[in-house]
Amino acid sequence: VLEYRIERIGIDSLYGSRSNQIPDTYPVKNATDVRVRFVVRVSSNMEARKVENEIKGGGINGVAGSGGVKTNTRKIIGVKSTLIPRDVIHYEVHEF
């Protein structure tokens, strides 16, 4: 596993990295029933299938009434914006 992220839907989406600083007076602080999102990045399709099977196994053999498990495996294509100094770009114009 190259990278993973676990999110408690409805808690982490509101409070992010500050979710451990929620005041005790907030009802969400003592939430005992939350939906979890588990995201994993791996280097191969075979690794992805192994993780997927583990997650599915937890849904079947885990806590009663968990509501099932939905998995999705897909390739990641990323776009990163960057600035390149103009003087390192060499170009030519060709007319047809």
Q: For residues 91 and 94, give the distance between their C-alpha atoms in angstroms, rounded to a whole number.
A: 10
Query: Has residue 68 been placed in a domain?
Result: yes
Residues 35, 66: contact at Cβ < 8 Å? no
Query: Has residue 93 been placed in a domain?
Result: no
What does 19-40 look like in DSSP terms, one character per residue?
Answer: GGG--TTSGGGG----EEEEEE
pTM, 2 dp = 0.54
Residue 9 CB contacts under 8 Å (≥ 6 apart), including other chains? 34, 35, 36, 37
- For residue range 39-68, what is the model confidence (pLDDT) as tens digits? 888 989 899 999 888 888 776 676 666 667
Query: Has residue 94 been placed in a domain?
Result: no
Query: Has residue 42 been placed in a domain?
Result: yes
Count of structural domains within the chain: 1
pLDDT-derived band at 84 (thresholds 50, 70, 90) equals confident
pLDDT score of 46: 92
What does 25-82 look like in DSSP terms, one character per residue?
Answer: TSGGGG----EEEEEEE-SSHHHHHHHHHHHHHHHHHSSTT-----------------
Mean pLDDT of 31-37: 76
Give the structural domain span for 7. Answer: 3-88
- For residue range 1-23, what is the model confidence (pLDDT) as tens digits? 889 888 888 777 777 777 777 77
